[in-house]
Amino acid sequence: MKKKYIILATFSFFLIAIDQITKMYIHTHYQLGESTPLIPGFFNITYVRNFGAAFGFLSQSHPMFRELFFLSMPPVALIVILLILRSVADTDRWQIYALSSVFGGAIGNYVDRLRFRYVIDFLDFHLYDKYTWPAFNVADSAIVCGVGLLLLLMLKEKNSLKDENLASKV
């Protein structure tokens, strides 16, 4: 088995485990809506159920559509990630870890959707309750970090190609 697939499996498993352990702790030790300030005026642990996607997107849509959409899209996304990974060189560790992060995060949230039909969120950042960020979880963080890293890698590659083109014209 190629090393990149071993990295994908190992890193994704690690992310899924942390995600599921933290969510189960919140689910079993907190009441829905219960909140514990960890950094007063900035960060709380708050038990939230997200029936939508990121930031509650589609949470108000028809329940049948929402369930079909959220139960069918993650497997499609996982297949796309695997197809992209096929073309990634074994030596491109940053891209392998970025894709693994998105892969693991997608599975972490998918497990919640299969079990509960919603995703457990609990990381609650705000600024003295005046400016709030929607609650999220470890899987969401992994997805955002993975996508962010992929974007940075794409920008870096674009700039490298641009520099090569300029150098070849001189």
Number of other residues whose CB lies within 10 A of the CB of residue 139: 29
Return d(Cα 67, Cα 115) in angstroms, integer.
12
- Tell me, yes or no, if 112 is annotated catalytic: no
- Tell me, yes or no, if 129 is annotated catalytic: no
- 19, 112, 121, 124: the active-site residue: 121
**If residue 97 lies in a helix (H) or strand (E), which one and from where to where?**
helix 93-116
**If residue 90 lies in a helix (H) or strand (E), which one and from where to where?**
none
- 19, 112, 124, 140: the active-site residue: 140
User: Is the Cβ–Cβ distance between 44 and 126 less than 8 Å?
Assistant: yes
55-64, Cβ contacts within 8 angstroms, sequence gap of 24 or more: 55/134, 56/134
Catalytic residue positions?
A: 121, 140
